[in-house]
Each structure stands twice: as structure tokens, then as C-alpha cells.
A and B are shown apart, each in its own frame.
Chain A
Amino acid sequence: MAEAEVEELPKAIVRRLVKEKLAQVAAGGAEVIVNKDAMSAFAESARIFIHYLSATANDMCKESKRQTINADDVLKALDEMEFPEFVEPLNTSLQEFRNKNAARRSETTQKKAEKRRKIDKESLPQEQNDAADHGKTDED
């Protein structure tokens, strides 16, 4: 169902990114007006960029006889697409992304311990819920 619909990037986010960049570039800080057609073209261009980049990264992935696209495939794809200046800031972002994941893993381990305690406490109410579910299924 979802695949049939053409997925679009959120236009509000596209608009915000474009406005931020224009605010930086514009001399005197004057607001730059962007036409509706131009904003639609920006959103469409971003979507095509994702398609192009993901297809190129997928080709890199297949060349290495792997099935899962990883970060290196994306970076190599950017070189092939003639956007080499993107690689350096993306490496910086990737490092921070990985640091975030490491921090969140420790948090998830703590949450797991808490949930294990909750399971023991909620063992009785779970049985009641099962009975209620059976009642609902009978009604259906």
C-alpha cells in the first residue's frame, strides 16, 4: 500500500533548510523569497538525489559482493557522483552519530534491566489481559 504512493520529503523541512542557507548567503541578512515552483523543484531534486545516491551506493555494495549498504559505500558513491566535498563533513557527522549510538546502547541496557523487573511484577496482570483478549476475539 505505502509503496504504491510516491514518497515525498517533508516540504517544511526542505523549506527550512533552504531558508537557513539563503539567510547565511544573502548579504545584509535580507530575506530571500523562494517561488512555489522553485520550492517544489528543490523537494523533487532532493528526492532524486536520494534515489541516485542510494542506487550508486547499491552498485558499490554489489561490486564488493555484499547485500547490506554500509557507510563506506555511500561515501564512495559520493565520490563517483562528483560530490567529493560532501565526504569530509559526512565523516564528521558519522563519528558523532556513532558516539550517540554508543551512548544510547548503555541507556538501552539499563532500560532492559528495568523492564525485566517490570515483567516479574506484571506477570499476574498479563494473565488477566490474555483472558480479556480471548473475550474480544470471541466477540469478533
Chain B
Amino acid sequence: MAGKKKALTNPASPSASASASTPKKSTATSKDRSTPKPRKNPNPKEEAPPPPPANNKRLNPQGGSNRKKKADAGTPSKKPKRQPPEPKPRKHKGAKSEKPHRVSGEGEKPTPTKKKKKKESSKEPKREKQQASAPMSTPSKKNKEAKRDTGGAGKPTPTKRKLGDVDPPQERPSGEGQASSPTPAKKRKDKAAAAEAVADHGAGSFPMARVRQIMRAEDATIRPSNEAVFLINKATEIFLKRFADDAYRNALKDRKKSIVYDNLSTAVCNQKRYKFLSDFVPQKVTAEDALKAPVSSQVNQPQ
């Protein structure tokens, strides 16, 4: 138990340092604020019922995967916050919304599973009504999942519930699978109609946070404005469509109806504008040719 507490406290400090290092990003600070809360909350829960270590080990990776999924799901709700250039009031809003969630968290502990379900249903409209409260609701979800994990008797059922909980937010932003692709498009159109703005041109397809992270992964000194991130988001979308069109034309030249890797590499080699992709989408080389030319093989390895 003590070791677990220490492990929990250790990651808390880097998150605090991360928030200190990047004070300018209000969204980053909000994320850091939300993360330590669920970490602290499960401590008393674990103490009260002493679960066996094997169960804990099994539960840990599930929690990690859930967190990742939540992070992905959380991105679309955060977009509108970032767009208005007023970071200070955002922080205040976050601070205000924190307290009521804590109260609700305390109330959830003694209640049985049925009540938990009801609370879950009640929280969903809250998120819809107030976008500002969306990031704060995620730690409460984590708390619920932790409680379910502690219940050893009902192991299979909580996993199903988790999947059910996670699926709807995933579908909305990403539109997984071919069958589900039309429904999120319709939803987006409805939202656009409600907002009185054309969603096709006004919103980028990729999550803004993800694009920003990719931009900063290579050079941390890059400081893009929201408009710049949006433009790069939109440009990437147009680039993908253009690249797909060129690959399809190459497929037609080969008289085939499917696109394979060679069509992409051929497009990269033929057109000058795709030169920056030559190191990442190279022509395939057979093993024999690679062995015959040791220098070229060394070049191919980093590719």
C-alpha cells in the first residue's frame, strides 16, 4: 500500500513541473489539474477494502488504456475553449467547476451500482449543456471505473460497461468503421446547423490538440496561434485528399481498383512536390539488392 502511494505521488510531481514549465497553455494547465484528482481519490477507496495484489495488477493496464481513450475523447470538447483568446477566464471557470464535482464524487462512494448508473446518465446532459465542465467530468468517470474495478465479484460486467461508456465519445470525434461513418457526419451536420456555421469549412477534421502536439514534437520552441493550428489542420486534410487522388491515378494506370503501397511510393518519386516524403515512403527494394549494395542498405535502414 505504501509503495503504491509513493508510485502515485511520484507522477504527480512531474505533472506539476509540466504545468509550471508551460504556464502559457491554459488547456495544458487544465489537463494537469484534472489528472492528479483521480489519482488522489482512489487512495482511500483502496484502503477501505483491501483488494488482492493480483487484481490490482490486472486492473492497472485497463486503467491506463481507459485514460488514453478518455484523453482522445476529451479533445473535441476542448476545441471551443481554445478558440476564444481569453485564457484567464478559462482557468477561473475550471477552478469553479472543480468543487461541485468533488462533492458529487464524495456522494458516489456509499451509493450502490444502480445509483451510479443514474448519475452517469444525469452527467451526460451536463456535458452537453456546459462545454466548460466537460474536462472536469472525466475524473469523475475515472473514479467510477476505479470503484467498479474494486468490485472483484463483477469483473466481466464492469468491463462491458466501460466499453459502452467509452464507445459513444469515440464515435463522435473519429467516426470509426465504414458502417458508422455516416452517422457521425450527420451529427456533425446537425451541430453545424445549430451553430449556424458550415462545419465542413469551419472546423478541421483532426483534433486540434493532436495537431499541436505533432507540431511541437519536432521543435518545442514552436508557438502556433489557434488560427495557425487550424490552417495546418485544414491543409493536412487537403493534402491527404490530393495525395489519395494521385495514388488512385497511379492505380488506374496499372488497371487496378485498389490502392497499394507501390502506388503511393510511385507518386512520391514522380512528383517534385512530394520530395519531402521520399525518405518516409521509399520505393521497395528487394533483400538481394540491399545486400549487394551495403552503403545503400545503411541508407535504407533509417528509412
Contact = CB atoms under 8 A, between A and B. Distances in A.
A140 B43 contact: yes
A32 B231 CA distance: 29
B268 to A, nearest CB: 8
Interface in A41-68: 41-42, 44-55, 57-58, 67-68
Nearest to A70: B225
Contacts of B173: 10
Contacts of A89: 201, 234, 238
Contact of B206 (A9, A19, A26, A115): A9
Nearest to B284: A37
B264 to A, nearest CB: 5
B195 A103 contact: yes
Contact of B244 (A21, A35, A94): A21
**Most chain B CB atoms below 10 A, which of A33, A71, A100:** A100
A43 B177 CA distance: 16
Given A90-B235, A96-B201, A35 B259 contact: yes
Interface residues of B, number: 88
A29 interface: no
Interface string B72-102: 1000000010011010010011001001101
A10 B281 contact: no
Given A10-B206, A32-B248, A69 B197 contact: no
A132 B231 CA distance: 45
A119 B211 CA distance: 35
B152 interface: no
A27 B216 CA distance: 40
B103 interface: yes
B217 A75 contact: no
B203 to A, nearest CB: 8
A12 B175 contact: yes
A10 B96 contact: no
Contacts of B240: 14, 17-18, 21, 42, 45-46
A51 B218 contact: yes
Given A10-B72, A93-B234, A100-B83, A34 B219 contact: no
A68 B212 CA distance: 13
A42 B264 contact: yes
Contact of A45 (B86, B251, B260, B277): B277
Nearest to A89: B238
Contacts of B241: 17-18, 20-21
Interface of A: 1-3, 6-7, 9-10, 12-14, 16-22, 25-26, 30, 32-35, 37-38, 41-42, 44-55, 57-58, 67-71, 73-75, 78, 81-83, 86, 89-90, 92-94, 96-101, 103-105, 108, 111-112, 115, 118-119, 122, 125-126, 128-129, 132-133, 136, 139-140
Given A32-B257, A38-B264, 10 more contacts: A17-B244, A21-B244, A42-B264, A46-B236, A54-B215, A54-B222, A70-B228, A78-B235, A93-B230, A133-B102
